[in-house]
């Protein structure tokens, strides 16, 4: 069921992003007078196809939902009827061809603006970025951050939730910023500015930075009552049920849920004798946490159980951040610009080797993120779509043959020299670009599979 859930939202995400991208090409092509033969979502055998008449555009939904294309009348691809020659793509002026090609990635960036606007208007619910602890010797301690402070901004960008805080912080670090300004607020409402100093090693991967940062979110002491249980988790298999009160483990009294989490994580594959209370009756059971390998090589124990959090505790932790429809417009453009610039910087860092290629995500990772964000709610899924749409737009604008940016590069050369780049030369560079793109996809897929086994 989880796999079907993930697959469904992955297909929804890809369909939306590809449809908007290809619609950009299609809409501008029609506006500048280019005849469009086919508008396809997906590749391979058509599952659905329709058009008004033989002379109209054919709209297709194909079997492989990993992309799409717009096929236009073009003498370079096949013979064109004499009546259609004025509407051929290759016969259009340079400005028109440039507009058609650029429209796809630009529509992805426009879609990101719309999605981020919707997220800002609907509002994001998250945990307040209250500092619950600072590990000794960590980057956070060196920056002067202390327990009890609330982080209100990173590099003057407002961070109302922990997710936004870590998102902005990691983005700034990974794209090369080595001095990051953190604005905090104390209990008396006074504000302080801390400077976080980073090295290249600190910012090599998000996981490494998160560990070296040494920040612990504040959390209240929650009664150790079992809430959600994973179907294939150790806890459920051992007989734990929702509502069970955890009394002690191996004779050690359990006072709050975090104590239990720490106890379990420290004991991978070590049996724990647990005393529980259910409906006023105490009983004993035994469970052995599964070992889960972390990226830094360490292991932790996990049992597949979550805590039952009282509503008043949730209310004290959560905050909703939203803007009016008018105020959300510039904020959506700012957010899109922020992620686009950071995506471009990240690609540059990976190209020169100063950022790890482990930051690449392939189709498996994207599918997992799609399913996870959908589980978190509408705003989380819309934000996920916005982030991927930005990445898709920026990626397609890169001057790599095969991508839209490669065609734009050819057009730029044509504008300078006054004539098109020779077709044989274009084909050669497109073949090179295809090889590079396939290698990149293979690397992303390899990293995806490696993450699965981890």
φ/ψ bin of 213: left (φ > 0), alpha (ψ from -120 to 50), beta (otherwise): alpha
Q: Are the beta carbons of 410 and 150 closer than 8 angstroms?
A: no
Closest Cα to residue 295, out of 204, 171, 367?
Answer: 204
Q: Are the beta carbons of 92 and 411 closer than 8 angstroms?
A: no
Distance CA 439, CA 402 (A): 14
Q: Cα-Cα-Cα-Cα dihedral of 196, 199, 204, 207, to 10°? A: -40
Closest Cα to residue 262, out of 303, 323, 208?
Answer: 303
Q: Are the beta carbons of 392 and 106 closer than 8 angstroms?
A: no
Residue 104, CB-side half-sphere exposure with 13 Å CA sphere:
28
Distance CA 113, CA 124 (A): 16
What is the distance between the terminal CA atoms of the chain, rounded to a whole angstrom? 22
Angle (CA) 448-450-454 rounded to 5° is: 115
Q: Are the beta carbons of 317 and 252 closer than 8 angstroms?
A: no
140: DSSP letter: H
Q: CA 210, 212, 215, 221 torsion: positive or negative?
A: positive
* Residues catalogued as catalytic: 22
Name residue, tokens 């899109």.
336
Cα 43 to chain centroid distance, Å, stands at 24
């Amino acid at each position: 069921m989880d796999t079907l859930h993930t697959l469904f939202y992955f297909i929804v995400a890809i369909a939306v992003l590809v449809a908007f991208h290809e619609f950009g090409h299609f809409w501008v092509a029609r506006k500048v007078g280019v005849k469009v033969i086919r508008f396809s979502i997906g590749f391979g055998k058509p599952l659905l196809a329709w058009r008004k008449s033989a002379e109209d555009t054919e709209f297709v939904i194909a079997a492989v939902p990993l992309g799409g294309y717009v096929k236009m009348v073009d003498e370079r691809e096949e013979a064109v009827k004499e009546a259609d020659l004025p509407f051929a793509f290759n016969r259009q002026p340079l400005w028109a061809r440039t507009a058609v090609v650029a429209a796809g990635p630009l529509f992805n960036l426009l879609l990101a603006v719309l999605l981020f606007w919707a997220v800002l208007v609907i509002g994001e619910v998250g945990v307040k970025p209250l500092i619950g602890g600072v590990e000794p010797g960590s980057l956070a301690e060196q920056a002067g951050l202390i327990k009890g402070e609330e982080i209100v901004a990173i590099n003057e960008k407002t961070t109302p939730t922990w997710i936004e805080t870590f998102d902005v912080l990691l983005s700034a670090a990974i794209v090369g910023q080595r001095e990051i300004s953190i604005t905090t607020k104390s209990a008396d409402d006074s504000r302080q500015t801390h400077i976080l100093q980073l090295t290249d090693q600190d910012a090599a991967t998000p996981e490494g930075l998160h560990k070296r940062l040494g920040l612990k979110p504040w959390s209240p002491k929650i009664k150790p009552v079992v809430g959600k249980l994973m179907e294939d988790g150790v806890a459920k298999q051992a007989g734990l049920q929702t509502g069970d009160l955890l009394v002690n483990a191996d004779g050690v009294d359990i006072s709050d849920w975090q104590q239990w989490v720490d106890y379990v994580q420290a004991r991978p594959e070590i049996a724990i004798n647990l005393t529980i209370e259910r409906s006023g009756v105490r009983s004993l059971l035994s469970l052995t946490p599964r070992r889960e390998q972390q990226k830094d090589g360490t292991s932790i124990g996990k049992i597949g159980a979550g805590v039952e959090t009282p509503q008043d505790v949730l209310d004290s932790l959560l905050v909703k951040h939203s803007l009016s429809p008018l105020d959300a417009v510039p904020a959506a453009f700012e957010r899109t610009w922020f992620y686009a610039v950071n995506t471009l910087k990240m690609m540059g860092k990976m190209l020169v080797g100063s950022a790890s290629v482990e930051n690449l995500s392939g189709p498996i990772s994207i599918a997992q993120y799609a399913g996870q964000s959908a589980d978190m709610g509408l705003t989380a899924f819309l934000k996920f779509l916005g982030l991927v749409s930005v990445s898709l737009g920026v990626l397609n604008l890169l001057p790599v043959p095969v991508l839209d940016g490669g065609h734009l590069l050819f057009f730029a050369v044509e504008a300078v020299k006054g004539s098109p780049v020779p077709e044989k030369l274009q084909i050669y560079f497109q073949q090179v670009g295809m090889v590079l793109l396939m290698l990149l996809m293979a690397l992303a897929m390899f990293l995806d599979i490696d993450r699965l086994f981890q």
